């Protein structure tokens, strides 16, 4: 982290700054490998207690945490605003969504993970079959800066509800928000079941090597590959939630007005710094002019800045501004035309809403995550062509479809873990829907029943319940028994 002269490390401390005005938000000692290992040891002890509490004890405490977060929401929103620059409105949406998960996971953990009897097989009818999901033990969570509450909690809450302890490394850009979450938890829960270790990539790498029993990473695909490789050294299982380049398709029979409104929200919410943000729009030619006119009008009305009612905040990570500017310049050089904004939209620390039309599919802005308030709109002859283009990238996180007749067909055809129909981003706020991607957007799932099971392993127990009917699982088996098995198999599987 020091090697690139990152200004956030000052006197061996991690210092977080407000991206809007550069003031210091907070500073924290950096955890080296020894401190990370010590946190994991502490977590291992705490986990035993946490597991012995049972589902009811964990549920009660996690639901109290939900109450604590909702009561102290104004304080949390102010801190998120200070540390990431996101508007209070964006921060509110993020925390409200996180609270839905904090409510759902503990209430459903017993049903999804608890012990149950399952049916046995005909030939093993003298056995009973038991299935339950047991926690891995200690889960390491590495989080990004763009959603410093929702994203890590999407792993932390499900891991805790499943009976694990957690060691969490927030992004170096949002250490104070991470610390706030752990401190709130400590007010409620008697033992250090959730701890925070502060630092940059080296601290994250130390967490990968610390012997945690599972690692949940959310961040860029490039870093995910490093995390995956490091975790492989100890065969530590991983869940990887990475980047995307999500597409929105507008079909010929879509509600064009609603599509324009949603494209804007899906693309520019959180100043476009959203893993599931809409970055590419494919609109069918026959409705393209109408769609663009509405999109551009509304985008032009958005208020950019720091005031409480502004709608597009600053770019959180200063170096991302160069990436956004590079994508805008490249799109222009490759023949894209600006329907709104242009290179002058980039006014650090802000990027003003920018809409570029008819950009070649191989431009950087069409293939790489831009992560800013920039939308590309390309016209296509029909929705199937839109789908082909939407599916052409190695990413596959989310996406959206606006259509009347073909909505579900197009949604199913989209190569992504999640798609909305006539809406955007909605799946993230539905605790029953698993969240995660395919391809370079990662694998594994947070949220929902799959999210609970992601942090537990299936434990199967086959228990003899009747005396042996015939010696199937024994060297006492004779030829007559083999003939009986043959007969049974013919009857059953013919
Ligand atoms: P990064 O990949 O830069 O960082 C993610 C986390 O990994 C940070 O805490 C970072 O620490 C840490 N890290 C960096 N290097 C290493 C390493 N070698 N070993 C272990 N950990 C390391 O992502 P960002 O923080 O920039 O987050 C934005 C990205 O996250 C975007 O690509 C976005 O699409 C994606 N994202 C995906 C989501 C999803 O659910 N699929 C949700 C939200 C975001 P540090 O910051 O201190 O360097």
Please state, in angstroms and rounded to a whole number, the distance separating the CA atoms of residues 480 and 468.
16
Q: Which of 275, 369, 449, 454 is catalytic?
A: 275
The alpha carbon of 218 and the centre of ligand 1 are apart by a number of angstroms equal to 6
Which residue is catalytic, options 241, 279, 449, 454?
Answer: 241
**In the numeric block, which tokens belong to residue 305?**
């800045």
- Gap from CA of 153 to ligand 1 centroid (Å): 15
pTM score, whole prediction: 0.95
To test the ligand 1 pocket, which listed residue (144, 181, 437, 454) has its Cβ within 8 A of the most ligand atoms? 144
Atom of ligand 1 nearest to the CA of 170: 9
CB 354 within 8 A of CB 374: yes
Residue of 28, 141, 143, 219 with the most ligand 1 atoms within 8 Å of its CB, for mutation: 219
* 275 part of the active site: yes
Structural domains present in the chain? 8-242+446-456 (3.40.605.10), 246-426 (3.40.309.10)
- Whether residue 132 has a cis bond before it, omega within 30° of 0: no
Copy the structure tokens of residue 93: 């949406």
Can you tell me which atom of ligand 1 is nearest the CA of 173? 46
Cβ-based neighbours of 326, under 8 Å, separated by 6 or more: 364
Name the residue with the closest Cα to ligand 1, atom 21: 204
Counting from 1 in the atom list of ligand 1, the atom nearest the Cα of 219 is 30
Contact 243, 397 (CB under 8 A): yes
pLDDT of residue 200: 94
Q: Is 333 a catalytic residue?
A: no
* CA of residue 231 to ligand 1 center, whole Å: 15
Structure tokens at 267: 């693309």
Point out the ligand 1 atom lying closest to the alpha carbon of residue 241: 41
The neighbour count for residue 78, using CB atoms within 10 Å, is 12
Ligand 1 atom with the shortest distance to the CA of 446: 40
C-beta neighbour count of 434 within 10 angstroms: 20
Angstrom distance (rounded) from CA 403 to CA 411: 10
How distant, in Å, are the alpha carbons of 297, 338, 361, 378, 411 from that of 386? Answer: 24, 21, 12, 9, 12
List, in sequence order, the alpha helices (H) in 125-174. Answer: 150-161
Per-residue pLDDT, 8: 78
Task: Enumerate residues lining ligand 1, CB below 6 A.
Answer: 142-147, 151, 169, 171-173, 200-201, 204-205, 208, 218-220, 223, 226-227, 241-244, 275, 369, 397, 437
Q: Report CA(171)–ligand 1 centroid distance (Å).
A: 7
pLDDT mean for each 10 residues of the chain (494 residues): 51 91 94 98 98 98 97 97 95 97 98 98 93 98 97 98 98 97 97 97 97 98 97 97 98 98 98 98 98 98 92 94 98 97 97 98 97 98 98 98 98 98 97 98 98 98 93 94 92 88
Nearest CA to ligand 1 atom 5: 219
Output the pLDDT for position 460: 98
User: Rounded CA gap, 340 and 333, in Å?
Assistant: 16
Residue 208 Cα to ligand 1 middle (Å): 14
How far apart are the CA of 461 and the centre of ligand 1, in A? 38
E strands of 368-449, at which residues?
Answer: 374-380, 400-402, 420-421, 442-443
What's the token pair of residue 335?
A: 């023949």
Atom of ligand 1 nearest to the CA of 207: 20
Distance 284 CA to ligand 1 centre (A): 35
Which residues 6+ apart lie within 8 Å of 401 measured at CB?
A: 248, 249, 251, 407, 410, 411, 414, 419, 420, 421, 422
């Amino acid at each position: 982290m020091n090697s690139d002269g990152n200004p956030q490390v000052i006197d061996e401390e991690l210092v977080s700054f407000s991206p809007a005005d550069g003031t210091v938000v907070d500073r924290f000692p950096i955890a080296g490998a020894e401190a990370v290992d010590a946190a994991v040891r502490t977590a291992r002890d705490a986990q035993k207690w946490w597991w012995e509490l049972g589902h009811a004890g964990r549920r009660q405490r996690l639901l109290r945490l939900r109450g604590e977060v909702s009561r102290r929401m104004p304080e949390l929103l102010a801190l998120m605003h200070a540390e990431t620059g996101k508007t209070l409105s964006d921060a509110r949406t993020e925390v409200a969504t996180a609270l839905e998960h904090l409510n759902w996971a503990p209430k459903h953990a017993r049903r999804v993970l608890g012990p149950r009897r399952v049916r046995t097989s005909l030939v093993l009818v003298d056995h009973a079959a038991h299935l339950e999901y047991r926690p891995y033990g200690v889960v390491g969570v590495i989080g990004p800066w763009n959603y410093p509450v929702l994203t890590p909690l999407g792993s932390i809450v499900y891991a805790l509800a499943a009976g694990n302890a957690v060691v969490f490394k927030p992004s170096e850009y949002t250490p104070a928000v991470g610390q706030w979450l752990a401190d709130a938890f400590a007010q409620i829960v008697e033992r250090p079941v959730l701890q925070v270790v502060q630092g940059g990539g080296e601290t994250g790498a130390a967490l990968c090597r610390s012997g945690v029993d599972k690692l949940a990473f959310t961040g860029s695909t490039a870093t995910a590959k490093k995390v995956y490789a490091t975790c492989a050294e100890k065969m530590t299982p991983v869940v990887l939630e990475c980047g995307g380049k999500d597409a929105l398709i507008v079909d010929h029979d879509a509600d064009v007005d609603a599509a324009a409104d949603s494209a804007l929200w899906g693309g520019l919410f959180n100043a476009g710094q959203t893993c599931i943000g809409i970055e590419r729009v494919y609109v069918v030619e026959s409705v393209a002019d109408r769609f663009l006119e509405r999109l551009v009008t509304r985008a032009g009305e958005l208020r950019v800045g720091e005031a409480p009612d502004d709608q597009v905040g600053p770019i959180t990570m200063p170096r991302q501004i160069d990436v956004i500017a590079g994508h805008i310049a490249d799109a222009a050089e490759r023949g894209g035309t600006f329907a709104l904004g242009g290179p002058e939209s980039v006014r650090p620390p802000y990027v003003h809403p920018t809409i570029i039309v008819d950009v070649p599919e191989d431009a950087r802005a069409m293939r790489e995550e831009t992560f800013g308030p920039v939308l590309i709109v390309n016209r296509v002859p029909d929705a199937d062509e839109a789908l082909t283009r939407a599916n052409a990238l190695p990413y596959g996180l989310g996406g959206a479809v606006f259509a009347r007749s073909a909505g579900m067909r197009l949604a199913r055809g989209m190569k992504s873990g999640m798609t909305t129909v006539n809406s955007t981003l909605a799946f993230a706020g539905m605790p029953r829907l698993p969240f995660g991607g395919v391809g370079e957007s990662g694998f594994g799932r947070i949220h929902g029943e799959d999210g609970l099971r992601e942090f537990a392993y299936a434990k199967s127990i086959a228990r003899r319940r009747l005396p042996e009917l015939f010696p199937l699982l024994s060297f006492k088996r004779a030829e007559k028994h083999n003939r009986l098995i043959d007969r049974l198999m013919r009857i059953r599987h013919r």
